[in-house]
Amino acid sequence: MIESRKEDHVKISLKEDVDSSKNYWEDIEFYHHSVPEIDFQDIDIGVDFLDKSLDAPLMIAGMTGGYEGAEDFNERLASVAETLGIGFGVGSQRAALENDELRKSYETVARYSPPMVLGNIGAPQLIKQKASEALSLAEANELLEMIEGDYLAVHFNYLQEAVQPEGDLKAKGVIDSLKELSSKVPTIAKETGAGVSPQTALTFQNAGVKAIDVGGKGGTSFSAVEHYRNQEDKMKTISKNLWNWGIPTPVSIVECRGSVSLPLIATGGIKNGVQVAKAISLGADIVGMAGGVLRALADEKRTVEEYFERVIRELKTVMFLLGCEEIDELLNVKKIFTGDLKNWID
Ligand SMILES: Cc1cc2nc3c(=O)[nH]c(=O)nc-3n(C[C@H](O)[C@H](O)[C@H](O)COP(=O)(O)O)c2cc1C
């Protein structure tokens, strides 16, 4: 069932190492200058994203909802996002459409006021599948209403769907449906760990989405997550062999920035403030974090708030060392690409 599927994802992501084999953020370095010529206290990391003002260029990327326990999960994270003035997204809300009792695991978010709240639905749900009807406009509106959300993230998780036995594999016509939906509801197109190519970014832009979350390779691999869920040998092997499929997050940012004018969210393998600075210096407007936040939530020694305070301090430290008072100035600093990333960028 869907609800246990969402719970499985959380449990597996905490218990197993489900990251892609390489974190490509290691292959970028900033060029150091010894004289910052600014005061640390003057560093301002606030940003405007779409029509929202965030206190830091960060958001908690959509992860969950739709099972017992998810209410507490979403409540704790929405509360942190409100306190820190950063964005927050819920995980797929499909379960709430199928079972009224599961709505409260999402509805709890409406009690908090992060500066930006994202709803979430899978792109496969935009069209009729073997076992489900296409999402209606009324349902899409309902998804945003239940969390008092600002934008509906439509996640393109076809890799995940394809490496599990019960996946939704009908994809023909999905862009027409996205276009139709985006003309009535503010949407954000989102990948979930395999990255967005420049051609796909253009397709999303033409479909009328407001922003793109490139969701690239380097962090949580959903093929890896499904590998641990799969019981049967054939699917277990297939999901293992596609574990490292996709476009690395830094590459996806550079390429999408070159092809579209839409605001970009960088999600995929970002766990510290140095990586946040790198993502922004490549052209991302804000950064989304999922796996790292999940582990922080389960960490008994530190709170999620402390985790983000560390990330923010790291981001400011990098900005100080690079002499950047404002977030935008990161775009102009010198970067060096090494290793595999250099091959990708070339
Ligand atoms: C446990 C878990 C559940 C997730 N569920 C969803 C989801 O329902 N919808 C979605 O768009 N992305 C989902 N994601 C993907 C994340 O939003 C993010 O794109 C991806 O994990 C890459 O970021 P990371 O490397 O920081 O984890 C999930 C991630 C995790 C770890």
Give pLDDT tens digits for 292-336: 999 999 999 999 999 999 999 999 999 999 999 999 999 999 999
Please give the helix or strand (H or E) that residue 224 lies within, else none.
helix 222-229
Task: Judge whether residue 252 has pLDDT over 60.
Answer: yes
Rounded distance between C-alpha atoms, residue 102 and residue 143, angstroms = 12
Confidence of residue 3 (pLDDT cuts 50, 70, 90): very low
CB atoms within 10 A of CB 62: 25
Residue ranges per domain, the chain?
A: 2-345
Task: Judge whether residue 2 has pLDDT over 90.
Answer: no
Residue 215 in contact with ligand 1 by CB distance below 6 A? yes
| pLDDT for res 4 | 73
Residue 155 in contact with ligand 1 by CB distance below 6 A? yes
- The pLDDT tens digits for 208-246 are 999 999 999 999 999 999 999 999 999 999 999 999 999
Contacts of 8 (CB under 8 A, 6+ apart): 229
Q: φ, ψ for residue 38 (rounded to 5)?
A: -140, 165
Residue 267 in contact with ligand 1 by CB distance below 6 A? yes
Tell me which DSSP letter residue 296 carries. H
Task: Give the mean pLDDT of the chain.
Answer: 97
Angle at 95 between CA 93 and CA 101, to 5 degrees: 110
Contacts of 54 (CB under 8 A, 6+ apart): 46, 47, 48, 85, 86, 87, 115, 116, 286
Rounded distance between C-alpha atoms, residue 270 and residue 290, angstroms = 8
- Ligand 1 center from residue 261 Cα (angstroms): 24
CATH 3.20.20.70 describes domain 2-345: yes
Q: Considering only CA atoms, which residue is closest to atom 13 of ligand 1?
A: 63
Token pair, residue 199, equals 């051609």
Task: Judge whether residue 1 has pLDDT over 70.
Answer: no
**Using an 8 Å Cβ cutoff, are 44 and 315 in contact?**
no
Supply the pTM of this predicted model: 0.98
